[in-house]
Structure 1
Amino acid sequence: MRKIVVHMSVSLDGFFEGPDRDIGWHRVDDELHTFVNEQLSGMSAFLFGRVTHELMADFWPTADRDPEISAPMREFAGIYRRMPRIVFSRTLEEAEWATSVRHEVHPEDIRALQRQPGGDMTVGGADLIRTFRRHDLIDEYRLYVNPVLLGRGRQLFDGADTPSDLRLVETRTFGNGVVLLRHEVAR
């Protein structure tokens, strides 16, 4: 059965974005981007909230036309274009090619997606991650902890109403100081 995996960068104090949606503190260098590309290239779908979808759709479809971008960014643009996307939004009615829109998260529909053949799926967007977590739909967390303390912003797991038992399955330290903490949900 396909897993649903969270891939998110967070600060050491648990924020995924700073004030005014700032993510300029994310330390994504070529080593880290290459690793993330390897992880995502085997996935079968991106599951996005509307805000994450719009941020991604504003840049990645044509990013590799810019001669100044790095090779890992160029590679990710191709991964983004070929990967099917499902956007969960109450307001969005339609989206560009390779993207379907769903207005609600129905756990039985997500579990049916998981039973289909193919690679794991990655979920992105803090609100969508909270919703998936509330429905116990997340199988694994891959958090890229950046060596920075923000002190304020938006926390990834604020408002969680129940604890989740996790099992650490991998750690990796990158040259830029980012540490991957990979946890599976203990079921």
Structure 2
Amino acid sequence: MRQVILHMGISLDGYIEGPNREIDWHVVDDELHQHMNDSLRPMGAFLHGRVVYELMEDFWPTADADPAAPDIIREFAGIWREKPKYVYSRTLQEAGWNSTIVRDVVPEQVAALKAEPGGDLVLGGADLAAAFLRHDLIDEFRTYVHPVLIGRGKPLFADAGARLPLRLVETRTFGNGVVLLRHRRAREAG
């Protein structure tokens, strides 16, 4: 059965974006970008909130059309564009690029999606993660901790709701100082 994997970059103080939605503090170099390409390529689908989808849609659909774009950027543009996307939004009326709009997080629908063949499901967005957490739908947490304190902004886990025991299953430090922390649900990590 496919897993739901939360996949997010955060500041050391736990924010996914600054107070004005800035993400310019993310430290992404070729090593980290190649890791992202390699880990996201086999995934079955992206589960995006509206904000994440619009951020991605603003750049990635045509990023590989620029002949000056680095190969690593061109590679991810193809991965993102071709991968099925489920965009959770109550307001978005249409979404392109192999996307399906979903209005609400319904556990039975997520269970059916997990039961389909293919790679795991990549979850992105703090609000969407909160909804998935409320329904106990996240199997794995992959947080990429960037070596910066931003002081304020949107936290990844504003209200986790309840204690959730996790087990660390992997760490990786990248040359740019970003640290991957990969956790699984304690009940599933053994």
Asked whether the two chains share a fold, i.e. TM above 0.5, the reply is yes
CA contact (8 A) 2:49 2:124 kept: yes
Q: Tell me whether 39-48 or 87-96 shows the greater mean CA deviation.
A: 87-96
Percent pairwise identity: 60
Match of 1:16 in 2: 16
CA contact (8 A) 1:30 1:70 kept: no
Match of 1:147 in 2: 147
Q: Tell me whether 87-96 or 118-127 shows the greater mean CA deviation.
A: 87-96
| TM superposition shift of 1:169 | 0.5
Residues 167-186 of structure 1 mapped to structure 2, 5 A cutoff: 167-186=167-186
Residues 1-187 of structure 1 mapped to structure 2, 5 A cutoff: 1-187=1-187
Unaligned 5+ runs, structure 1: none
Letter aligned with residue 143 of structure 2: L
TM-score w.r.t. structure 1 length? 0.97
CA contact (8 A) 2:140 2:182 kept: yes
**Aligned pair in 2 of structure 1 residues 97, 179: CA closer, same or farther (>3 Å)?**
closer
Q: What number of residue pairs does the alignment pair up?
A: 187
Q: Deviations over 1:8-50 (max 9, x none)?
A: 1111111111120110000010000000111100000000011
| TM superposition shift of 1:95 | 1.3
Letter aligned with residue 143 of structure 1: T
Unaligned 5+ runs, structure 2: none
Q: Tell me whether 66-75 or 121-130 shows the greater mean CA deviation.
A: 66-75
| Separation in 2, partners of 1:156, 1:136 | 16
**Aligned pair in 2 of structure 1 residues 147, 97: CA closer, same or farther (>3 Å)?**
closer
RMSD: 0.9
Matched residue SS, 2:152: coil
TM-score w.r.t. structure 2 length? 0.96
CA contact (8 A) 2:82 2:97 kept: no
| TM superposition shift of 1:97 | 3.8
CA contact (8 A) 2:166 2:185 kept: yes
CA contact (8 A) 2:86 2:101 kept: yes
Letter aligned with residue 79 of structure 1: I
